[in-house]
């Protein structure tokens, strides 16, 4: 399978997963929260908005009319991250 085909397959799989999460969040079957130090607060509404935004981005990537663009990180940033992951960075 070529790289573009794998990317499209990944996008579709991610899209299905997010749609399922969104359905559970909207139905109230799953809730999200955050510990702000003074107790947990409900962040379900924010999670729903993030899921909708991610679905929109995936839709843009999967359609020819989409407006999403993929930006390749600069080589020095990649090299610095790789060095950090390998334990050779400063």
Q: Over the stretch 18-70, which tens digit does the pLDDT of each residue have?
A: 999 999 999 999 999 999 888 899 999 999 999 999 999 998 888 876 565 55
Q: Which pTM value belongs to this model?
A: 0.65
Taking a C-beta distance cutoff of 8 angstroms, is the pair 49, 60 a contact? no
Q: Torsions phi, psi of 42, nearest 5?
A: -75, 125
Q: How far is residue 52's CA from residue 65's CA, in Å, rounded to a whole number? A: 18
Does pLDDT of 71 surpass 60? no
Question: 36 or 85: whose pLDDT is higher?
Answer: 36
Q: How far is residue 52's CA from residue 19's CA, in Å, rounded to a whole number? A: 9
What does the domain layout of the chain look like in residue ranges?
Answer: 3-86
Q: How far is residue 78's CA from residue 89's CA, in Å, rounded to a whole number? A: 12
Taking a C-beta distance cutoff of 8 angstroms, is the pair 53, 23 a contact? no
């Amino acid at each position: 399978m070529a790289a573009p085909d794998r990317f499209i397959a990944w996008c579709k799989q991610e899209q299905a997963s997010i749609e399922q999460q969104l359905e559970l969040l909207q139905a109230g079957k799953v809730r999200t929260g955050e510990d702000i130090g003074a107790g947990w607060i409900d962040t379900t509404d924010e999670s729903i908005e993030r899921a909708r935004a991610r679905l929109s981005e995936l839709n843009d990537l999967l359609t020819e009319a989409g407006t999403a663009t993929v930006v390749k990180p600069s080589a020095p940033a990649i090299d610095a991250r790789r060095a950090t992951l390998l334990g050779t960075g400063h």
